[in-house]
Structure 1
Amino acid sequence: MEPVDDVLKGLVEMTRTLASDSVGSIYLTGSRAFGSAVSSSDIDLFFVGQSGRLDDTLKDAVFSLSRLSPLICPYRLDVKAYRLEKLMELETAVDGPFSPPKAMLHFNAVTIKNFSRILSGTDIRDKVELPPVESYVGHLRDFTVWIISDLKGGRSVRPETTLGFPDENSSFYGYVVEGKLEHLVYVVGLIASTRIAQAAGEYVSHKGMVPELYRKYVGDRFSDFVNQIFLWCRSRWENRIPDVPSDRARLDELCEETLRFENQLLATGFGTTSSANAS
């Protein structure tokens, strides 16, 4: 497989060709940016529009790269783009009802500012405004519950709800989507990140930090479980269903524990931040 650095160089060159006058900065985020990737890890790219622009040319470039990624990139590609002004307005964009796009804007601003590596262009991270921690934690909590609801087929999820498996009659109770473990790791990582953010009142973005931070700030009976999800599903099995019967039995047990982990979050009434408790 082509080395990641060569792939990144090619993607940057292609982006500059497709939208040379529109893209100002290109950032790499996620495990590929911090040396903790496994072979199945995505390449996560963020484009920031030149002088705050997010015109049709840059939108078309994002669309083209996303559509062509199976042909031009040996790794799965996730590309997002923002206007710089959007990333500078978070201090005044924290009110109102929850919406997934607003939540993602908050998460991505934190990621770009604190957990990214610049690949090309002018570094604008010092201009990115972080959302207030209380707002960030609230969006993270609500987004996590929204994802859990989606996993359960759109079922309403409320504080003190007792959930069941996504599909108790399917392999691994419905937590394994399309034969891959990324969604299981994602859900557990979101719940763990929510608990960490509530307990510590801090931003959490780089998923490689989650097991250690969970043990440090939450430290409950699920600490070993969170570590095992990342150790087995991500590192050892590389997000693929294992073939060895003993490993499949272990995965089955991890999926059973995932339901308990979900219900633990809901049993707290979704919780609050440490700063909110202090007030």
Structure 2
Amino acid sequence: MAEPELIESTGDRECDRIAQGVIGIFETAFPGRVRGFYLRGSHASGTSIDGSDLDLFIVFKDRFTDGAEFDRARALSNHCARLTPMLLEVILVGERGLRQPDGVGAALNLKLATRLLYGEDIRPDLPSFDADTYVRSVVHTPYLSYTFPVQRHNGPLVYPLDHIDPDGPFFGFDQCTDGADQPSTKLLIATVGWTATAIIALHSGQYVRDKAACVELYQKHVADQWTDLVTQVHDLCRNRWHYQLPSRAADRQTLRDLCHRTLDFQNHFLELYREYQLAEFASGDSDRQQLASQRLTQVVFPS
């Protein structure tokens, strides 16, 4: 096929080239199956910096035909990521999945915080923002970052959490993330960001579009003892150190202190999480009760 022509530029020539390559590969491998390719993250919001990932949504028509099709698409996206000079993160989803209860977060992100690069635009047809539904979805998202480290892959989380690597210089928050082969602060940024996003939702029901909005909304709607942690992780790890581990001794000590405090922030959130799920379980709504019951089995709290 001819080189795909982007509907809109990413704003970066290198990112445009990578996006065109990914689109061409998927269109060739899955002819007629992809509804649209969307840009998300900092490149979509115009806030990218050196070290920012290239984040894409690839939306398949209707739903994946079977598990094998999804597995092929996931493998292909992983292979694409190995060919790019920057970290490429792809979310694969079927249209029907965006309308399921566990697809609310992805659907809102697609609708409110992306730019269409190629294909058909389904965003106008996606459900409008509903605060209760959003909170119910996003409050579980920190669990995914908490269980990302290999040290926590097996079994449920146990409250209170311990450090990922108690003997490590940054307590395990410097380990490589998906697609990366160098230690960085990305796991720390993701952990603090998703935790803050969930707490913002619990306090105000506000949708968080991106990392900068997360800091601003946390300062405005939460403003608690963790506000400086949320602010410093964004300002230092992202904006000053550009996701990299700092080399200066003083900066490394600052990063170590941030990593140490993050564990307490996580445990603080898990207390709020338990209260929320117990309230959902007592709501009298069978669907909400079932979801809360399922989620309460994924984190072990002391009796």
TM-score bracket, shorter-length normalisation: 0.7 to 0.9
Offset at residue 74 of structure 1 (A): 1.6
Question: Residues of 2 paired with 1:209 and 1:259: CA distance?
Answer: 23
Residue 76 of structure 1, aligned match among 87, 95, 117: 87
Work out whether 1:184 is the aligned partner of 2:184.
Answer: no
Work out whether 1:218 is the aligned partner of 2:222.
Answer: yes
Offset at residue 272 of structure 1 (A): 3.9
Maintained 8 Å contact 1:69/1:76: yes
Offset at residue 156 of structure 1 (A): 4.9
Gaps of 5+ in 1: 95-101
Aligned to 2:64: 54
Work out whether 1:109 is the aligned partner of 2:107.
Answer: yes
Residue 172 of structure 1, aligned match among 164, 170, 173: 170
Distance 1:53 1:262, change over 3 A: closer
Which residue identity is paired with 1:229?
A: V
Which residue identity is paired with 2:50?
A: S
Higher helix fraction (1 or 2)? 1
Question: Residues of 2 paired with 1:187 and 1:240: CA distance?
Answer: 16
Q: Secondary structure at the match of 2:164?
A: coil
Which residue identity is paired with 1:234?
A: R
Maintained 8 Å contact 2:139/2:198: yes
- Relative to the length of structure 2, the TM-score reads 0.75
Maintained 8 Å contact 2:145/2:190: no
Between 1:38-47 and 1:27-36, the stretch displaced more is: 38-47
Work out whether 1:65 is the aligned partner of 2:77.
Answer: yes
Offset at residue 229 of structure 1 (A): 0.3
Aligned to 1:4: 15
Residue 254 of structure 1, aligned match among 258, 261, 281: 258
Maintained 8 Å contact 1:69/1:77: yes
- Relative to the length of structure 1, the TM-score reads 0.81
List aligned pairs for 1:6-155, cutoff 5 A. Answer: 6-50=17-61, 52-55=62-65, 60-71=72-83, 73-87=84-98, 89-90=99-100, 94=101, 102=102, 105-129=103-127, 132-145=130-143, 147-148=145-146, 151=149, 153=152
Structure with more contact order per residue of length (Cα contacts < 8 Å, sep ≥ 6): 1
Per-residue Cα deviation, 1:127-154 (whole angstroms, up to 9, x for no partner): 1225753343233223324543555635
Offset at residue 77 of structure 1 (A): 1.7
Per-residue Cα deviation, 1:159-180 (whole angstroms, up to 9, x for no partner): xx43332222111122221321
Offset at residue 236 of structure 1 (A): 1.4
Aligned to 1:202: 206
Question: Residues of 2 paired with 1:30 and 1:110: CA distance?
Answer: 13
Maintained 8 Å contact 1:189/1:207: yes
Question: Residues of 1 paired with 2:164 and 2:155: CA distance?
Answer: 10
Question: Residues of 1 paired with 2:263 and 2:38: CA distance?
Answer: 35
Per-residue Cα deviation, 1:32-75 (whole angstroms, up to 9, x for no partner): 2112223322222112224x25347786455323213222x222
Maintained 8 Å contact 1:28/1:119: yes
Which residue identity is paired with 1:19?
A: F
Q: Secondary structure at the match of 2:56?
A: strand
Which residue identity is paired with 1:49?
A: F
Distance 1:156 1:19, change over 3 A: closer
Gaps of 5+ in 2: 1-11, 177-182, 284-303
Which residue identity is paired with 1:39?
A: D
Which residue identity is paired with 1:14?
A: I
Offset at residue 185 of structure 1 (A): 0.7
Percent pairwise identity: 28
Aligned to 1:235: 239
Question: Residues of 2 paired with 1:268 and 1:78: CA distance?
Answer: 30
Offset at residue 31 of structure 1 (A): 1.2
